[in-house]
Structure 1
Amino acid sequence: MSMAFNDTFLKACRGEAHDHVPVWYMRQAGRSQPEYRKIKETRSLFDITHDPELCAYVTKLPVDQYNNDAAILYKDIMTPLPFIGVDVEIKSGIGPVIYNPITSEKDVEQLGELEPEKDVAHVLETIKILRGQLHVPLISFAGAPFTLASYMIEGGPSKNYHKTKAFMHSNPKAWHMLMDKLGTMTIAYVRAQVTAGSQAIQLFDSWVGALSVSDYKRFIQPVMDRILTEVRSEGIPLILHGVGTPHLMKTWKDMPADVIGLDWRTTVDEARAIGIQKTVQGNLDPSILLAPWDVIEQETKAILDQGLKSNHFIFNLGQGVFPEVSPDTLRRLTTFIHEYSAEVKRKG
């Protein structure tokens, strides 16, 4: 007999009444799981994502192990880039390395267009498999244009984004052309994932916190508004997440996203105080997961007590799970979140 579908996450996205606070963890698939590490001994990220059955297994594993309320598709934000002409390799311990970085308007002009049904058919097949296996919602995702562009211009990870900011200001025509192309790619990519069966989308703008509010409004917000507005027609929750973004919250609150991801620098109460009424997601500092359990519980309870003031709250980390985190800790954390929040809601 199949398990009943757990739609708690979707209800929280919409602010509807539900029995407990839903929880899932960014980077919950892989990283710290021994089963995943065993697979990675012989298979690369590319190998796993191009094997839909294996990719579905990796995606589903944390849901089975931790009893989370949503699954997030195992893949990388770089997944669509090779198909538009970006020569990228994911290097262990480094991250994405771009061998043909963007340096000019001509480089931008040469970028192609994504054909999702052909280029990322393996991703879409994985989604279809998972929809037949999961009893919780499936979240898919895409990298937001600024974060993708930062890799494409810097040639890899950066601590300061000097090249990206210099390109943005010194060649605004080429920058906006790049944003337009990445925006078009993201819309096509997201729509294909929704058509295949994804039930929510998270846009990872991981590094956009490096920008000032004025630069964000001038160089980034137009393409983000376009993506969010066009994808809203698909009728599924849209989550906007970044790191180091407290200064952008007043801008984000009025953008057409359904859920705003908070990192650990912004509390739920602080988000509410500036007028964010929509659902917020977060925001335990993942470093806390290495602390003793009483510390984890105390920090988690503090976040839950703020989040439980409304139905517009999803528990998550402020950033992703890292390899040193014990799966037992995540399992215990999920149980605590479910039990504590259910008790508060019953009494409330």
Structure 2
Amino acid sequence: MTTPSTRAAAESQRGEAAQGLAPEHPLVAGRTSRSRLITAYSGRRPDVLPVWFMRQAGRSLPEYRELRVGTNMLDACLDPALASEITLQPVRRHHVDAAIFFSDIVVPLKLAGVDIDIVPGKGPVLGTPVRTAADVAALPTLDMDALAPVSEGVRQTIAGLAGLEPQAAAPVESASADSAVGDVPLIGFAGAPFTLAAYLVEGGPSKDHIRARTLMHADPDAWHALMTWAADITGSFLRAQVLAGASAAQLFDSWAGALSLDDYTRHVAPASARALSHVRDLTYPDPERAADPVSATPVQRNVPIVHFGVGTGELLRAMHDIGTDVIGVDYRVPLDEASRRLGNIVPLQGNIDPAFLGAPWPIVEAHVREVVERGRNAPSHVVNLGHGVPPETDPSVLTRIVELVHGLGS
């Protein structure tokens, strides 16, 4: 679990005391605090195993492709109504236990004024790469008002989730008999500082991120400044989503697998901790624990934080140590082994291999059952993919996986 010293260090970086969420926030209002997802993220097993999929909102859905005609990716992300509708589509179709906000990790860069676009078939591309100390010093400052479309998109999504058929609440011994069943929770997400820095330095996607790793060692001061900038930009993006109503926060480090453990620990982890400090102070009343008997003050929990990386099997413990509650595991490391590396005390998320989604159903089913069985070694488990949904995936396969997982129990 996150150590007090790690949390204190993260909070001190922002100089902020812990604060609660607004009374109408779904966690505070009790609409998501006992959901299957939040229960599992809190380290307890609900009656039904929760499941959602990375990139569940996207090109695998015909309704998504129809909606996106004539609209580029970043424009879609910054249209609140469109982003909300895309976020809701897989929840309606698959009956997953969580929505994840439709956006992109480079959105905060775009909103800050960085010349970046998402090129179809290639990914994020920079107009001018950031490769020197002078380039880093010239990076723009994010105006917090620029995040308004993101916040509004989240608010519209929360309203839409409230209108969907609710899931059953997880059984909680301390819950009152009249507890509401609650809404499907929304997950906010952001890119980790290293992944954003890699795009900035490389100028676009890269196989080995050699320029970024070279800057890390050749000019440590410039690298530190770049990572600090990226941490605050992406942390602000994540915070805006949580304040607007997201019930959990997930940090994606798509390219951290290119790093050695030493490089990650020394040159990357501090910035990731800084990014998460932007949401670590946000709290809500713990539905599991009664108010303090002396002060009558409700016991507070932090909004659950998930950290996921690609090819990061050797970094799992270090990724947890930055201040995360849940670790997402890609398909390369079995969940029982991942749990062992984390001391069997950390809730896990994952890790169906996306390559199986195109196989005959008996093979898919056997693989999912194995993932669930290996996940029993962790204190709790949220079933997910070990990476994103491939565009060519038959959506009915995802629906069948949800039905299978829900039928397996906790």
* TM-score category (smaller protein): over 0.9
- Is residue 72 from structure 1 mapped to residue 100 from structure 2 by the alignment? yes
2:160 partner letter: Q
Q: Which amino acid aligns with 1:60?
A: L
Q: Equivalent residue of 1:160, what SS?
A: coil
Instruction: Give the Cα–Cα distance (whole angstroms) in 2 for the partners of residues 83 and 17 of structure 1.
Output: 39
What is the letter of the counterpart of residue 140 of structure 1? G
**Matched residue, 1:241:** 308
CA distance in 2, matches of 1:262, 1:136: 23
Tell me which amino acid in the other structure corresponds to 1:196: A
Compute the displacement of 1:327 (Å): 0.6
**Counterparts of 1:152 and 1:79 in 2: how far apart (Å)?**
13
**Contact kept? 1:183, 1:223, Cα under 8 Å:** yes
Question: What is aligned with 2:224?
Answer: 176
Which of 345, 353, 359 lines up with 1:285 in the alignment? 353
Give the aligned partner of residue 49 of structure 2: 21
Any conservation in 1 of the 2:347–2:380 contact (CA below 8 Å)? yes
Measured against aligned partners, the alpha-carbon deviations of 1:55-94 in whole angstroms (never above 9, x if no partner) come to: 1111000001000000000011010102334210101111
**TM-superposed deviation, 1:255:** 3.0
Deviation of residue 16 (structure 1)?
Answer: 2.2
Question: Where in structure 2 are the equivalents of 1:267-282 lying within 5 Å?
Answer: 267-274=334-341, 275-282=343-350
Q: Does residue 113 of the first structure (1) align with residue 147 of the second (2)?
A: no
TM-score (norm: length of structure 1): 0.94
Q: Deviations over 1:193-230 (max 9, x none)?
A: 21111111110101101000011111001112223345
Q: Which has the higher helix share?
A: 1
Match of 1:265 among 324, 329, 332: 332
Which residue does 1:224 correspond to in 2? 272
* AA at the equivalent of 1:30: G
Pick from 75, 81, 87 the counterpart of residue 53 of structure 1: 81
**2:41 maps to 1:36:** no
Deviation at 1:53, TM superposition (A): 1.5
Q: Is the contact made by 1:286 and 1:317 (CA closer than 8 Å) also made in structure 2?
A: yes
Matched with 2:400 is 332
**Contact 1:259/1:278 (CA < 8 Å) preserved in 2?**
yes
Overall identity of the aligned pairs, in %: 42
| RMSD, matched Cα | 1.5
In the alignment, structure 1 residue 312 sits paired with structure 2 residue 360: no
Residue in structure 2 matching 1:130, options 157, 160, 166: 157
Equivalent in the alignment of 1:201 = 249
Instruction: Determine the C-alpha separation between the residues in 1 that align with 2:211 and 2:115.
Output: 18
Cα distance, 1:108 vs. partner? 0.4
Conserved 8 A contact 2:74-2:104: no
3-state SS of the aligned residue for 2:249? strand
Q: Is the 8 A contact 2:208 2:258 kept in 1?
A: yes
1:252 paired with 2:330, answer no
Moved more, 236-245 or 31-40: 31-40
Counterpart residue type for residue 125 of structure 1 = E
Gap change, CA 1:255 and 1:50, over 3 Å in 2: closer
The CA deviation string for residues 265-284 of structure 1, in whole angstroms up to 9 with x for no partner, is 11111022221411110001
Q: Deviations over 1:232-271 (max 9, x none)?
A: 1112111100000011123224331011010011111102
CA distance in 1, matches of 2:137, 2:50: 43
Instruction: Supply the distance in 2 between the matched residues of 1:254 and 1:188 (Cα, whole angstroms).
Output: 21
Equivalent of residue 122 in structure 2, options 90, 94, 111: 94
CA distance in 2, matches of 1:100, 1:181: 17
What does residue 11 of structure 1 align with?
39
Please give the secondary structure, in 2, of the residue aligned with 1:324: coil
Unaligned runs of 5+ in 1: none
Q: TM-score, normalised by structure 2?
A: 0.80
Structure 2 counterpart of 1:231, one-letter code: V
Q: Distance in 2 between matches of 1:331 and 1:187?
A: 33
SS in structure 1 of the partner of residue 331 of structure 2: coil
Q: Which moved more, 1:267-276 or 1:279-288?
A: 267-276
Q: Aligned partners of 2:278, 2:112: CA distance in 1, in Å?
A: 21
Whether the 8 Å contact between 2:74 and 2:117 is mirrored in structure 1 is: no
Deviation at 1:40, TM superposition (A): 2.2
Distance in 2 between the 1:54 and 1:83 partners?
Answer: 18
Give the Cα separation in 2 of the matches to 1:74 and 1:230: 20
Corresponding position of 2:258: 210
Cα distance, 1:161 vs. partner?
0.8
2:329 maps to amino acid: L
Q: What per-residue deviation string (whole Å, max 9, x for no partner) do you get for residues 165-188 of structure 1? A: 111111111000001111122222
SS in 2 for 1:269: helix
**How far apart, in 1, do the equivalents of 2:340 and 2:236 lie?**
35
Residue matched to 1:151: 199
Mapped to 1, the partners of 2:80 and 2:235 lie a distance apart of: 22
| Per-residue deviation, 1:143 | 0.6
Match of 2:364 among 288, 291, 296: 296
